[in-house]
Copies of this chain bind each other. A is one copy, B any other.
Amino acid sequence: MAKSKKPRWQRRKEDRPAEIVAAALDVFRARGFAASRLDDVAARAGISKGTLYLYFRNKEELFKAVVRETLLPNLMLAEARLQESTAPTPALLLEVLGALVAAVGTPVGAIPKLIIAEAGNFPDLARFYVEEVIARGMALFARLLIRGRERGEFRAVDPLTAAPMLAAPILLMSMWKHALEPHAPPRAKAVFDGPRFLAAYGDLLLHGLLPRPSGPRE
């Protein structure tokens, strides 16, 4: 039998996990974790169901991999960006928010909804998210607020308490985009459309943060 030049399977040991994770995210995004079938994940990844188990011990591990591997790179990127910038803080804040808003439009934006939906069933995943994602994200915002305060660009607010407020509209937008917008009438969709949302958000946020031109307050 000499016709065996082409191997029966491609050797793609390296790429497979990432492909599977991407496929899983797509499927989980649409149906939620519990209602997703591994059959569908496999089909979308272009492999067979059995092959999934060569790379992930079970459905839960696949879920965790999806969360870990799609969130952390994004977060580290943001942290690096903040570190090196010398721009005025209001501009830097807007830049960070802009990056987040952009990220929300990608499949990654569906992760928060998935985590929140399944936190009750996967406590360690919830813990991971709280400690590795939320805590770090809030710390990042808090540092921004402090930086602004120190440079006289922001008024004094408690950074740890205010940080979540900065994040809240981003979260809202991610929920909207990945859960409700597909079912909303056209007029409702306009509200959340990209730059417009970001501008309104920044306006409201900054005018609360910027020092008042005249007279001391509070």
User: B residues within 8 A CB of A212?
Assistant: 155, 212-213
Interface string of A177-218 (1 = CB under 8 A from B): 001101111001001100011001101111111111111111
Contact A210 B116 (CB under 8 A): no
Interface string of A130-161 (1 = CB under 8 A from B): 11001100000000010010001111011011
Query: A113 in the interface, Cβ–Cβ < 8 Å?
Result: yes
The answer to whether A209 and B154 touch (CB under 8 A), given A135-B188, A179-B120, is yes
Query: A87 in the interface, Cβ–Cβ < 8 Å?
Result: no
Select A127's contact among B126, B183, B207, beta carbons within 8 Å.
B183
CB distance from A27 to the nearest CB of B (A): 10
Interface of A is mostly: helix
Query: A98 in the interface, Cβ–Cβ < 8 Å?
Result: no
Query: A76 in the interface, Cβ–Cβ < 8 Å?
Result: no
The answer to whether A35 and B129 touch (CB under 8 A), given A160-B191, A172-B168, A210-B155, is no
A interface with B by C-beta (< 8 Å):
29-32, 34-35, 90, 93, 112-113, 115-121, 123, 126-127, 129-131, 134-135, 145, 148, 152-155, 157-158, 160-162, 164-165, 167-169, 171-172, 175, 179-180, 182-185, 188, 191-192, 196-197, 200-201, 203-218
Known: A134-B188, A145-B209. 14 other contacts (CB 8 A): A32-B117, A32-B120, A35-B118, A115-B180, A117-B117, A126-B179, A126-B182, A126-B183, A130-B180, A130-B183, A154-B209, A167-B172, A171-B171, A206-B209
